[in-house]
Amino acid sequence: MAEYLKRSKSAAEIAKDDARTRAVVEDTLADIEARGDAAVRDLSAKFDRYEPNHFRLTPSEIEAAMSKVSSRDMADIKFAQDQIRTFAQAQRASMTDIEVETLPGVILGHKNIPVQSVGCYVPGGKFPMVASAHMSVLTASVAGVPRIIASAPPVDGGPHPAIVAAMSLGGAHEILCLGGIQAVGAMALGTETIEPVHMLVGPGNAFVAEAKRQLYGRVGIDLFAGPTETMVIADNTVDAELCATDLLGQAEHGYNSPAALITNSRRLAEETMIEIERLLQILPTAETARTSWRDYGDVILCADHDEMLRVANDMAYEHVQVMTDRDDWYLENMHSYGALFLGPRTNVANGDKVIGTNHTLPTKKAGRYTGGLWVGKFLKTHSYQKIMTDEAAAMIGECGSRLCMLEGFVGHAEQCNIRVRRYGGLNVPYGQAAPYREAAE
Catalytic residues: 318-319
The CA distance from 327 to 336, in Å, is 16
H/E segment holding residue 15: helix 11-35
Under 8 Å between Cβ of 359 and 132: yes
Alpha helices in 36-155 (DSSP H): 37-48, 59-67, 71-93, 130-133, 139-143
Under 8 Å between Cβ of 152 and 124: yes
Q: Which residues pair with 7 in a beta bridge?
A: none
SS3 299: strand
Residue 200, amino acid: L
Bridge pairing between strands 98-103 and 106-114: antiparallel
Closest CA to 106 of 382, 393, 381: 393
Residue 36, amino acid: G
Under 8 Å between Cβ of 305 and 324: yes
Closest CA to 424 of 394, 399, 398, 397: 394
Under 8 Å between Cβ of 84 and 137: no
Axis-axis angle for helices 206-215, 11-35 (nearest 10): 60
Under 8 Å between Cβ of 215 and 184: yes
Under 8 Å between Cβ of 363 and 226: yes
Under 8 Å between Cβ of 282 and 320: no
Under 8 Å between Cβ of 301 and 3: yes
